[in-house]
Amino acid sequence: MRIGCAGWSIPKAHAAAFPTEGSTLERYAQVFDCAEINSSFYRPHRPATWRRWADSVPAHFRFAAKMPKAISHECRLQACDGLVTAFLDQVGELGDKLGWLLLQLPPSLVFDPAVALPFFEHLREHHDGPLACEPRHASWFTGSVDHALRQLAVSRVAADPARVPRAALPGGDRQRIYFRLHGSPRTYYDAYPSPVLERVARRLRRAPQAWCIFDNTAMGHATGNAIELQRMLRSL
């Protein structure tokens, strides 16, 4: 079970919970054991950057790397084998610090088995680690799609806010579960109250392997929520 944030910024309001020495990532990694790399969605990084991140964290720390929008939003999972290979080469620089690959799909991307399944099959031929997919079109939230993802060991993200009720629940590979909490009711901005975090803590306790990433970073609430959730889990 791992708790962390999208990115590793340290808001002033929560700075006292972190060490004062080291880079921001080094300080962050003394409190949390995982982080999501979202910048890889927008642009590639040099090999030295990935290696520096890996070298900045303890041995037990893991990253989730978000796959580029060129794959998910521009190519829409089609004719992108070269882009996938290039991205896997990049994240390979993290070595054993790589935890998950995260694929977030555009809200307009309808599930098409003739497109999605060959994409995941190709990806699985080259990467056998944890893989999370966050679809946002209602067509992805059916039993048949869930079964297909499970066969490919792809975990469907449990997201909040959920665009459809089933999106709040994990799908696909149930052995490895990935929660992404974006803030509610205002996505990216609002904090989660304690009763909501308590429900999340109970769900995490029941999961065989689980990550919970807070993405409500706009006002710095992700850090506070992640710290509070950590405390709740310790007391359960």
Query: What is the band of 110 on the pLDDT scale with cuts at 50, 70, 90?
Result: very high
Q: Tell me the mean pLDDT in the region 172-178.
A: 95
What's the pLDDT at 198? 96
pLDDT at 53: 98
Among the residues of 78-112, which ranges form H helices?
Answer: 81-91
- When pLDDT is averaged across residues 65-91 and rounded to a whole number, the result is 98
Q: pLDDT at residue 91 above 90?
A: yes
Q: Is the pLDDT of residue 236 over 80?
A: no
Split at pLDDT 50, 70, 90, the class of 10 is very high
Residue 208, pLDDT above cutoff 90 = no
Beta pairing partners, 99: none
Strand order in the sheet with 171-172: 158-160, 176-181, 209-214, 2-6, 34-37, 62-66, 98-104, 131-134, 155-156, 171-172
Give per-residue pLDDT as tens, 12-30: 999 999 999 999 999 999 9
Residue 125 token pair? 């031929």
pLDDT band of 5, cuts 50, 70, 90: very high
Structure tokens at 144: 């048949």
Residue from 42, 32, 24, 27 nearest 5 by CA: 32
Mean of pLDDT values over 129-152: 98
Residue 83 has pLDDT above 90, yes or no: yes
Mean pLDDT of the residues in the chain = 97
CATH of 2-173 given 3.20.20.80, 3.40.640.10, 3.20.20.410, 3.40.50.10260? 3.20.20.410
- Give ∠ CA 138-140-144 in degrees, rounded to 5: 125
Mean pLDDT of 113-128: 98
pTM: 0.96
pLDDT (tens digit per residue) in 39-69: 999 999 999 999 999 999 999 999 999 999 9
50 burial (CB, 10 Å; 0-12 / 13-18 / 19+) is buried
Helices (H) and strands (E) in the chain, counts: 8, 10
CA pair distance 143, 148, nearest whole angstrom: 9
